[in-house]
Amino acid sequence: MPAILSIEALGKQYKSGHKALEGVDLSIERGEIFALLGPNGAGKTTLISIICGTVTRTAGTISVAGHDIDHARREARQRIGLVPQEIALDMFSTVLNTVRFSRGLFGKAPDPAYIEEILRDLSLWDKRNARIMELSGGMKRRVMIAKALSHEPELLFLDEPTAGVDVNLRRDMWALVRKLRERGMTIILTTHYIEEAEEMADRVGVINGGRLLLVEDKDALMRKMGKRQLTLTLQAPLATIPDELAEWSLVLAEDGLRLIYSFDAQAEDTGMPALLHRMSELGIAYRDLDTSRSTLEDIFVNLVEKAA
Amino acid sequence: MSGVNLHGIWAIYRTEMARSIRTVWQSVATPVITTALYFIVFGGAIGSRMSHVGGVGYGAFIVPGLIMLSLLTQSISNASIGIYFPKFTGTMFEILSAPLNAVEAVVGYVGAAATKSVVIGLIILATATFFTDVRILHPVWMVAFLLLTSLTFSLFGFLIGIWAKNFEQLAIIPSLVITPLTFLGGAFYSIDMLPQPWRTVSLFNPVVYLVSGFRWSFYGLGDVGVGASLAFTAGFMALCLIALAWIFRTGWRLKP
């Protein structure tokens, strides 16, 4: 079976000469959640918009489930649902009518039972006859999702699904995404909240300056690039780091009260037990110890800075 | 799936018609009141002092022109707002991302706008019968002109809606071009009444051909031949279609 989405050598250059995307290759497997990470203006939304047909591209090919988006437009487009970043709705329409409209637009026969199911899933059924303008911001966002799901797509794009959304709604959104995945939906989301990608994604792509810098399995990325840190709070301050501890390249902080040891999380020998052993030999006592693992955010910042 | 996205066309058509029905009172009351005013002023007050035009009473003479005036302005404004509204609210992304080709989108939007114009044209015709004696010599041709004009100018309105970047631009063509051309296009007089060179100048006004053909279907008299009227309307329609085909191929004003 072909990949649900396959992109080759995609490029977008605006008339002004600005290159929004350059040489993007990407293949998405069925059923995965893929997070596209990048700072503002990196090209995330442009990439999604080109796949969905709302922005023209200047180079490359795209196919959805093996259907070229130019030559088999209908077959490709029908499989895609898009939830854009901005809420854009006909404020005078009712919830039910606007969702029905979307289903029809994508060429599907009416299916009241299915529409009821998605509206119930999104806690919108009670509001089905309300006009959009009467709804809260969170509800409007859910209407956008209901519209995108109305034609039973196989591939769902969520462009910054939780930008400007409160904590509870963000948790709800994550739960919804997981539920959709359980049903076999493939989801591509863009975000600049690393927490979101870390929480949900199977794979992560980092985009900056219109180029896809890396595509990796999230856990592998965390293992590969993640650093761990051991922080020791000492009982008595040290003036300098003793020469006997030089091989660990420690950092002394907070007036000599804190020793920080950074090490590679995936190394066979972390050097941590040996360090603690040597310290007790030297008689350096500590009150507390703490270890931390770098987040996707640290990795991301690191990558973007390196590329810059 | 192949073939035509009938569900998509129907979804657009139905939503557009629903938008008109939401404002049904404005949609119907405006043309009825406007027409009644024209008849009171031109038909009653002034018309009673005017001689017959080509054997037809002045009140009856202006009926086809009045209908044409409304058809043109209504077709343009319905179709242009229909496609401008999604651009304005941002819901255009959905239309652009849907598995819908240009022809299907145009059939949905222009079909709905033309339907509304035809209904309004018929309402004006019905209103006119209360004020004056209206005969229709060629009813089939009358309906044909009604449909052709509504479709053509809805297409033109659709183009304006895509072109317009704001509400001012949306209003500028109907008010600065269409209304003057209609008033000068023989809606209220026969161009035979004009002195030269204005009679010849009028032949360059496209609306003359529309009004003339339509009036011929009522009373069998026109300023220009009915063939010329038909050819002109069809030609203008072809121009609009060519422009639309180009817009959808290039994404002009639709896609960055």
Q: Which two tokens stand for residue A169?
A: 């709604």
User: Which tens digits make up the pLDDT trace of A111-168?
Assistant: 999 999 999 989 999 999 999 999 998 899 999 999 999 999 999 999 988 877 788 8
Please check whether residue A307 lies inside any domain of the structure. Answer: no
Which of A202, A223, A244 is the endpoint of a domain? A223
pLDDT at residue A138 in the model? 87
Nearest CA in chain A to B22: A92
Task: Render A180-247 in DSSP notation, one character per residue.
Answer: HHHTT-EEEEEES-HHHHHHH-SEEEEEETTEEEEEEEHHHHHHHH-EEEEEEEESS--SS--GGGGG
d(CA A196, CA A174): 8
- Cβ contact, residue pair A90, B89, below 8 Å: yes
Looking at the fold, whether A26 and A77 belong to one and the same domain comes out as yes
Dihedral class, residue A159 (left if φ above 0, else alpha if ψ from -120 to 50, else beta): beta
Nearest CA in chain A to B14: A101
| Torsions phi, psi for B252 (to 5 deg) | -55, 130
Please check whether residue A23 lies inside any domain of the structure. Answer: yes
User: Which tens digits make up the pLDDT trace of B103-118?
Assistant: 899 999 999 999 999 9
d(CA A111, CA A113): 6
The CA R_g of chain A, rounded to the nearest whole Å, is 25
Looking at the fold, whether A164 and A271 belong to one and the same domain comes out as no
Helix, strand, or coil here: A289? Answer: strand
- Cβ contact, residue pair B15, A54, below 8 Å: no
Residue A12: give its domain's CATH number: 3.40.50.300
Please check whether residue A303 lies inside any domain of the structure. Answer: no
Looking at the fold, whether A207 and A60 belong to one and the same domain comes out as yes
Looking at the fold, whether A80 and A16 belong to one and the same domain comes out as yes
Q: What is the least distance, in Å, from the CA of B72 to any CA of chain A?
A: 27
- Cβ contact, residue pair A105, B22, below 8 Å: no
pLDDT at residue A308 in the model? 65
Q: Which two tokens stand for residue A259?
A: 């020793």
pLDDT at residue A222 in the model? 78
Between residues A113 and A173, which one has the greater pLDDT? A113
Helix, strand, or coil here: A145? Answer: helix
Looking at the fold, whether A162 and A131 belong to one and the same domain comes out as yes
Looking at the fold, whether A137 and A240 belong to one and the same domain comes out as no
- Cβ contact, residue pair A88, B93, below 8 Å: yes
Quick check: A213 and A207 in contact, CB under 8 A? yes
Please check whether residue A67 lies inside any domain of the structure. Answer: yes
- The residue-averaged pLDDT of A185-211 equals 89
Q: What is the least distance, in Å, from the CA of B89 to any CA of chain A?
A: 6
Please check whether residue A306 lies inside any domain of the structure. Answer: no
Task: Render A126-142 in DSSP notation, one character per residue.
Answer: GGTTSBGGGS-HHHHHH
Calculated CA dihedral for residues A302, A36, A213, A42, nearest 10 degrees: -80
Looking at the fold, whether A213 and A233 belong to one and the same domain comes out as no
Please give the tally of structural domains in chain A: 2
| Parent domain of A247 | 226-293
Taking contacts as CB-CB distances below 8 angstroms, the residues of chain B near A109 are: 7
- Identify residue B29 by its one-letter amino acid code: A
Looking at the fold, whether A147 and A187 belong to one and the same domain comes out as yes
pLDDT at residue A19 in the model? 92
Between residues B119 and A307, which one has the greater pLDDT? B119
A-to-B residue pairs, Cβ atoms closer than 8 angstroms: 91
Cis peptide before B197 (omega within 30 of 0): yes
First and final C-alpha spacing in chain B: 29
Which of A223, A243, A276 is the endpoint of a domain? A223
Query: Cα dihedral sign for A132, A137, A142, A146?
Result: positive
Looking at the fold, whether A81 and A213 belong to one and the same domain comes out as yes
- Cβ contact, residue pair A101, B5, below 8 Å: no
- pLDDT (tens, 9 = 90+) of chain B, 256 residues, equals 458 899 999 999 999 998 888 878 877 788 788 888 888 887 777 777 777 777 788 888 888 988 988 889 889 989 999 999 998 999 999 999 999 988 899 999 999 999 999 999 999 998 888 888 888 999 999 999 999 999 999 999 999 999 998 888 888 888 888 888 888 888 888 887 888 888 888 888 888 888 889 999 998 888 788 888 889 888 988 999 999 888 888 777 777 7
Looking at the fold, whether A195 and A277 belong to one and the same domain comes out as no
Q: What is the least distance, in Å, from the CA of B193 to any CA of chain A?
A: 49
- Cβ contact, residue pair B94, A91, below 8 Å: no
Residue A261: give its domain's CATH number: 3.30.70
Question: With b meaning 16 or more CB within 10 Å and e meaning fewer, what string describes A283-305?
Answer: ebebeeeeeeebebeebbeebbe
Between residues A300 and A237, which one has the greater pLDDT? A237
Which of A223, A249, A278 is the endpoint of a domain? A223
pLDDT at residue A12 in the model? 95
Closest CB from B10, B14, B97 relative to A80 = B97
Helix, strand, or coil here: B188? Answer: coil
Please check whether residue A302 lies inside any domain of the structure. Answer: no
**Cα separations (Å) of B198 from A279, B65, B191, B195?**
107, 19, 8, 6
Which residues does A contribute to its contact with B (CB < 8 Å)? 14, 49, 52-56, 73-78, 80, 82, 84, 86, 88-93, 97, 100-109, 147
- Chosen for mutation from A91, A96, A105 (greatest number of chain B CBs closer than 10 Å) is A105
- The residue-averaged pLDDT of A261-269 equals 78
User: Which tens digits make up the pLDDT trace of A105-119?
Assistant: 999 999 999 999 999
- Cβ contact, residue pair B8, A102, below 8 Å: no
Quick check: B88 and B235 in contact, CB under 8 A? no
pLDDT above 70: residue A57: yes
Which secondary structure element, helix H or strand E, spans residue B189, and what is its range?
Answer: none
Q: Which two tokens stand for residue A222?
A: 């965390």
pLDDT at residue B198 in the model? 84
Looking at the fold, whether A122 and A172 belong to one and the same domain comes out as yes
pLDDT at residue A174 in the model? 87
Please check whether residue A129 lies inside any domain of the structure. Answer: yes
Calculated CA dihedral for residues B65, B67, B73, B74, nearest 10 degrees: -170
CB atoms within 10 A of CB A247: 11
Q: What ipTM, to 2 d.p.?
A: 0.85
Taking contacts as CB-CB distances below 8 angstroms, the residues of chain B near A53 are: 96-97
Taking contacts as CB-CB distances below 8 angstroms, the residues of chain B near A100 are: 11
Taking contacts as CB-CB distances below 8 angstroms, the residues of chain B near A73 are: 99, 101
Confidence band for A97, pLDDT divided at 50, 70 and 90: very high
